[in-house]
Amino acid sequence: MQATNAKLRQGRGVIEHYCEYLPVSDSTPIISLGEGDTPLLFCPQLSKRVGHGCEVFVKNEGVNPTGSFKDRGMTVAVSKALERGATALICASTGNTSASAAAYAARAGISCAVVLPAGKIASGKLLQAFAYGAKIVAIDGNFDDALRIVRELGERGDFAIVNSINPDRIAGQKTAAFEIVDALGNAPDFHLLPVGNAGNITAYWAGYRAYNAHQRSTKLPVMLGFQAAGAAPIFYNRIVETPETIASAIRIGNPASWKQARAAIAESHGAIDIVSDEEILAAQKWLAQHEGILAEPASAAAIAGLFKCRNSNEAAYSFQKIPDGSGIVCTITGHGLKDPDIISQRMKELEPVAATVTDVRRVIGL
Ligand code: F0G
């Protein structure tokens, strides 16, 4: 069958859907992989565990084309870069931005360089950057060092930077908030998400406000952001020189959108809190085994954060402040398959048995 119409050829992505809210015009070449329109899943087990008559939803961004929320911002950043005549992209990354940038650069037919902290990228994400044909540079340093180098290279004009310091990235990522309001008919009461470089919390808050200003919602959510305890500069209000966490996506010590994240939290009367690596891994396992959603560790930080609000008097925002019957949305920012090494330890325990019904019944425990 011949795709006769330009829209069919492009696939329907967030630019086409939300163009009136985005910095695009008829002369913007749309580079899309059909990102966005991700499921907002009601989670019955999670709602039950939280209790208080709350309804908990998960916005599953892991089902975007490269498996993370970055694709929403990348379609806008790459389309705008192309409109301005860019021939090469560059980004620093803890993994997902590089996977997304590499894919959208391939789609646009331009080159892409990614600067990564050596040995700190989840294997699925690194595999993606190779597969999409990016020029990969691993540095002896962390994400914050990588971003410093990328800023300098971008200033020289050789590359278009597609990190979230590029406002086109934030503009595109706002569309996740639009979709949530469109699905629920209004903004939720609470929005929980992991925080790393702090672009996404900035984007969600901007999106909720923009939609509210256009009378698409009658309220704004309370924003609750969660950092890993070993990489929590915003929570502690100081730069962390050597951030450490199993959630490598949010292993960041000096977030670029620090001030904007603080503003989002203050304006929404929300909070920033920390969760331990143990809490993150327990939440990842719980969500997979009770709701069928496999999140990467960074994403599970939002679920760990929800449990902390529920259980702990030490939480920055405890359930004493969350009214009964609240509508709660947690963003699952990336797919669990990107970081298989975390789970693969359990697979090593698998022992083969004889190919007989008797042996199989015995192992199942029948
Ligand atoms: N969750 C995942 C899966 C991420 O990849 C990131 C950031 C975040 C949460 C935090 O979002 O930075 O907007 O606060 N990943 C970036 C990257 C830093 O390079 O892929 P943020």
Query: If DSSP codes are grouped into helix, strand and coil, which group holds residue 321?
Result: coil
Going by alpha carbons, the residue nearest to atom 4 of ligand 1 is 249
pLDDT of residue 1 exceeding 60, the answer is: no
Q: Work out the average pLDDT over 146-156.
A: 95
CB of 297 shorter than 6 A to ligand 1: no
**5 Cα: distance to centroid of ligand 1 (angstroms):** 35
pLDDT of residue 278 exceeding 90, the answer is: yes
Strand partners, 114: 91, 136
Going by alpha carbons, the residue nearest to atom 10 of ligand 1 is 196
DSSP of 77-92: HHHHHHHTT--EEEEE
Q: What is the pLDDT of residues 340-359, one digit of tens each?
A: 988 887 788 889 999 999 99
CB of 199 shorter than 6 A to ligand 1: yes
Going by alpha carbons, the residue nearest to atom 15 of ligand 1 is 249
pLDDT computed for residue 189 by the predictor: 97
CB of 14 closer than 8 Å to CB of 72: yes
Percent of the chain with pLDDT over 70: 96
pLDDT computed for residue 11 by the predictor: 53
Confidence of residue 314 (pLDDT cuts 50, 70, 90): confident
Confidence of residue 5 (pLDDT cuts 50, 70, 90): low
pLDDT of residue 313 exceeding 80, the answer is: no
Amino acid letter, 223? M
CB of 200 shorter than 6 A to ligand 1: yes
pLDDT of residue 135 exceeding 70, the answer is: yes
CA 348 vs. chain centroid, Å, equals 29
Rounded-to-integer distance, Cα 296 and Cα 122, Å: 10
Q: Work out the average pLDDT over 218-243.
A: 98
**164 Cα: distance to centroid of ligand 1 (angstroms):** 10
Q: Which long-range contacts (CB under 8 A, 24 or more apart) does 262-268 make?
A: 262/234, 263/205, 264/201, 264/202, 264/204, 264/205, 264/223, 264/225, 265/201, 265/223, 265/225, 267/205, 268/205, 268/220, 268/221, 268/222, 268/223
- Tokens representing 176 are 């996740």
CB of 257 shorter than 6 A to ligand 1: no
pLDDT of residue 91 exceeding 90, the answer is: yes
**360 Cα: distance to centroid of ligand 1 (angstroms):** 42
Closest ligand 1 atom to 93 CA: 19
Please state, as a whole number, how many other Cβ atoms lie within 10 Å of the Cβ of residue 234: 23
Question: Across the chain, what does the average pLDDT equal?
Answer: 95
Dihedral angle computed from the Cα positions of residues 225, 165, 28 and 87, in that order, rounded to the nearest 10 degrees: -130
pLDDT of residue 8 exceeding 80, the answer is: no
When computed from its CA atoms, the radius of gyration of the chain, rounded to whole angstroms, is 21
pLDDT of residue 149 exceeding 80, the answer is: yes
Going by C-beta distance under 8 Å and a sequence separation of 6 or more, which residues neighbour residue 344? none
Closest ligand 1 atom to 173 CA: 13
Set out the domains of the chain in order of their start, with CATH numbers.
Answer: 10-66+169-344 (3.40.50.1100), 70-166 (3.40.50.1100)
Q: What is the pLDDT of residues 247-268, one digit of tens each?
A: 999 999 999 999 999 999 999 9
CA distances from 283 to 47, 131, 275, 287, 321 (A): 14, 30, 10, 6, 22
pLDDT of residue 3 exceeding 70, the answer is: no
Please state, as a whole number, how many other Cβ atoms lie within 10 Å of the Cβ of residue 152: 9
DSSP 237: T
